[in-house]
Amino acid sequence: MGLRTKLGVLIAGTAAVVSVVMGLLVHHRTVDAQYANARSQLGERLRTAVQDHAAGVDGDRTLIDPPDLPKPLAAAARDGRWGFYLERGAGTVPVLWAASAYRGDVVALRRPYQRESATVRDVDRVLWMAGGVGTALASAAGLLVATRFGRRLTANAGTAQRIAEGDLTARLPEGGKDEIGKLAAAVNTMADALAGRLQAEREVTSNIAHELRTPVAGMVTAAGLLPPGRPSELVQDSARRLGELVDDVIEVARLDAVSEEPELVERDLGELVRRTVAGVDPGVRVEVLRDAVVVTDPRRVERVLANLVSNALRHGAAPVTVQVDGGVVRVRDQGDGFPERLLSGGPQRFRTGQRDTGLGLGLTIVAGQVRVLGARVRFENPVGGGALAVLDLRGALAA
């Protein structure tokens, strides 16, 4: 049950409870008032009837020792007390009795109580109608208020989700001075601080990468001049990997900072995939179930596919297969699968890898290049084990 529904139910329930309580109070006050008024009138008449009986003159409505006098009232009268008794019979008109004793005789009066009962029923009917209308109006007002707050909260939650997914330009509307407005202002302040910190980190990372590019290039060149041998191979391999890492950091910084546009050309997807995979590792098997022609940026697609295949080879386990099915390319290995945080939060630089190792720049570049292409990529751990990366280029299919 959503917050909007809960607020609506709470307001409607509160209105119903208030209506019932007020109705009960008014009902009892009306019953007491009607009974007190009828008893007062009948009591005056009884006083006069007792005086007339003492004078030897009994009126037509005066009852002396009536046989149908209620027993509790008869007992009270014989004890010398004045008494009243409301007699309600099933299916009969209610009757109010009054009785008093005089020199061994019980003097009694009775009158129909139908008018008072009808008045109470009318009041109850009005109370039910007013309570129903009031509850309906309160429910409508509650739903309106709950809907207003619900829409604000839903919009804020959607924007907060965008911020959590990396869109640090998203901001919550700060209208209103209530708690929701204060929450929106706090989230916006947090997003501003986070964006500033990330931007500073990106600039530092980019500057360091650019500063390292020249000495790393010199290191690679110098390593190539070493005499042949195992130590030389180790130095050359380390220098090459360091150069690739610097290039990856620079590419990530460029994807973060620059709004790039793809250079669209028409390509056969099957052939593009075969050529890219062969350049990474000729031993990776490529299956073309359904070939397709796509209008895309081949260089960026090659970069995405190369990173996905390299990631599968480095962090997964053989065999690695690449499958082309229309505009969808699937890269699957038989390793331990992607870590849970990658599946839930997507690639994160410096902390992704199928075995929780590596710097995570390869998949971060994949996400950035896919965003530029206007395509989609998703990561799964399919049934049967392994890891599956799916590149969806169906939006780029040639007409």
pLDDT for the residue 360:
58
The per-residue pLDDT for range 88-111, each reduced to its tens digit, is 876 678 899 999 888 888 888 988
Task: Report the C-alpha gap between 246 and 240 in whole angstroms.
Answer: 10
Q: Comparing 189-203, 242-256, 271-285, 373-387, which segment has the lowest mean pLDDT?
A: 242-256
Task: Report the C-alpha gap between 340 and 379 in whole angstroms.
Answer: 10
DSSP 3-state assignment of 172? coil
pLDDT for the residue 388:
92
Q: Among 315, 235, 303, which residue's Cα sits nearest to residue 273?
A: 303
Q: How far apart are the first and last CA of the chain?
A: 45
Q: Which residues pair with 112 in a beta bridge?
A: 95
The residue-averaged pLDDT of 324-331 equals 92
Contacts of 102 (CB under 8 A, 6+ apart): 50, 53, 54
The model carries a pTM of: 0.51
With left for phi above 0 and alpha for psi between -120 and 50, is residue 322 left, alpha or beta? Answer: beta
Burial category of 43 from C-beta neighbours within 10 Å (exposed 0-12, middle 13-18, buried 19 and up): middle
DSSP 3-state assignment of 323? strand
Q: Give Cα separations from 95 to 38, 45, 174 (angstroms).
A: 11, 15, 68
Percent of the chain exceeding pLDDT 90 equals: 19
pLDDT for the residue 80:
77
The residue-averaged pLDDT of 160-189 equals 76
Task: Report the C-alpha gap between 190 and 158 in whole angstroms.
Answer: 16
> Cβ distance 46 to 100 under 8 Å?
yes
DSSP 3-state assignment of 24? helix
> Cβ distance 385 to 318 under 8 Å?
no
Average pLDDT of every residue of the chain: 82
Higher pLDDT pick, 337 / 361: 337
Task: Report the C-alpha gap between 27 and 121 in whole angstroms.
Answer: 9
The per-residue pLDDT for range 176-208, each reduced to its tens digit, is 677 777 778 888 888 888 878 777 766 776 677
